Amino acid sequence: MSRLLIISNRLPFSLEKTNDAITVRQSSGGLVSAIKSYFERSGKQSSEFTEKIWVGSMDVAEEIYQEAVALNAFPGDFTVVPIFPEKELYDDYYNGFSNSTLWPLFHYFPSIVEYKKEYFEAYRAVNQAFANSIIQQYKPGDVIWVHDYQLLLLPQMLRDKLPDANIGFFLHIPFPSYEIFRLLPNRWKRAILHGILGADLVGFHTHDYVQHFIQSCKMILKVENQFTNIVYNDRLLKCDLFPIGIDYQKFREAITEETVIAIATKLEEHFYNQKIIFSVDRLDYTKGLEYRLEGYEEFLTKYPEWRSKVVFILNVVPSRDLIKTYSDRRARIEEKVSTINGKFSSLAWQPIIYRELTGAANELSEAIFVNPTDAEEVADGIDTALTMHLIEQRSRLSNMQRRIAEYDVFKWINEFLSCMGDIKNEQDNLRVNVLKEQNIEKIKADFEKAERRCILLDYDGTLSPLQKVPNMAVPTDELILLLEQLTRDEHNEVVIISGRDAQTLDTWLGHLPVSLVAEHGAAIKMKGEEWKDQATMSSEWKDRIRPLMEMFVNRCAGSLMEEKKSTLAWHYRNTHPDLGFSRSRELRNSLLQLTANT
């Protein structure tokens, strides 16, 4: 049994102190609703977790929090671990980098992104504060689940200190295409990808977001992937889609509650003989509220027969009023509502009922899809919905409800946590367990006792790091010193194996008492002897292959051809990953055809 640590920017409630009373209010938002439903249900049933802990920031003084603890004011479904960042630092982290940089960029609004160094530094500092708190709480076996765009750096910060921890990360907003993500300064975008890749499992809402993330990792960090598996820093991790659901049963049962029935009855009486268009959204430029209003205005203009027969109830949840783009948007929406009401209202009818809400908004997919920027398409979509036969309406709603009921919040959470366990098992299966401490000691002892020792060493990528240009992989002074130390022992026979040509190996390593293998075996030079060619074929084949490789060099920017005595090599590690991979497959097929009858 283990503990589950949920990590989010905010704790799932806020505290208010008036006079001597402290009030606890549940926060709004889909994440809070989803996790709390899971905690409540798992609290009533047997759970795989011995304890559930929620780590997040609080916007009240620590003294008020301690008072609430003393009063036992918090719900009992989970343990609370608060973070108390300094106010100005938190403002630059949250209103700054999180919501003035990441939020607009990830939602494809690059024109309003703010690039401020102090915002990023605050973002890093608050992420580190979260990491420090979690590390103090952590116990071996804990499952850590980090949520959303405010904490993109956190997984790797945790990985640095807790290398064996089981860490999951879920992004609740879109991950943009590489062309958009690359607009971030190089240091920032590398830090963000590095941070996310500290997780064992990275979750997104859609397949597109998964592909966007993998593409950015390939382009910026040059990582390798196989489908949704990524190898980074010699560690396997997985990216996958986990579309979040709602607590369907909770909403389904709510229609029988007296308060809900009373509100529904009141609406029916108030808007008797009128069709109701109902909308609930946060006040955010990504929600297309202005486009929605323009579409509704076009609907009333294009279909005047609906005037006095339909009402648009627009419920807006205030959001991030301290950010100027949000407060400006709010003013424009209120102005647009006033304009439409002034244009179409009568004494008995008001086309738009505008309200501000303080509760959570759970968005469900609409049955009729429209482009919100196309006012006429929105108008036609409204008319289609209002004139749709009741049988078709019920059929569409029934299908949507069935999908929502099947993939509810509990399935979302259980699938994610199950996948976290699977990827950990896969990592364990891939981990090399041979060199444990006792194995290392045995190898040392056997090495010391051996009369003769043959030490086979690969050059590129082992003795010397891979280089963009092969000829830059010159051995360092440290490497030469290490090889000299190995060869001083008369019991050691050192063999260096490389894809390099004989002349290059002679220049770099020929002065050492070692055996050399060039071009992966095409030529061999035993210690103290001369080079001997192992390949006896003529080099005429090169004349047929060289033009083909040169053509692929021209077709793939960043690639190069390396010619040696017995081999030709086409290098594409410096190319665009997708293009390089595609061209390598084309070249392989062309070579197979060209040499089929040779």
234 phi-psi bin (left φ>0, alpha ψ -120 to 50, beta other): left
Q: 336 near 342, Cβ under 8 Å?
A: no
| Cα 27 from Cα 79, distance rounded (Å) | 16
List, as one string, the DSSP characters of 446-466: HHHH-S-EEEEEETBTTTB--
Query: Which one, of 170, 80, 83, lies nearest residue 126 by Cα?
Result: 83
Burial of 511 (0-12, 13-18, 19+ CB in 10 A): exposed
Whether 177 and 212 have beta carbons less than 8 Å apart is answered as yes
Helix (H, G, I), strand (E, B) or coil at 9: strand
* Residue 316 in tokens: 């807006």
The 3-state DSSP class for residue 215 equals helix
Q: What are the catalytic residues?
A: 458
Distance CA 399, CA 366 (A): 12
Alpha-carbon span 237 to 225, nearest angstrom:
10
CA distances in angstroms from 267 to 270, 311, 313, 316, 397, listed in the order given = 5, 11, 11, 18, 21
Distance CA 512, CA 528 (A): 9
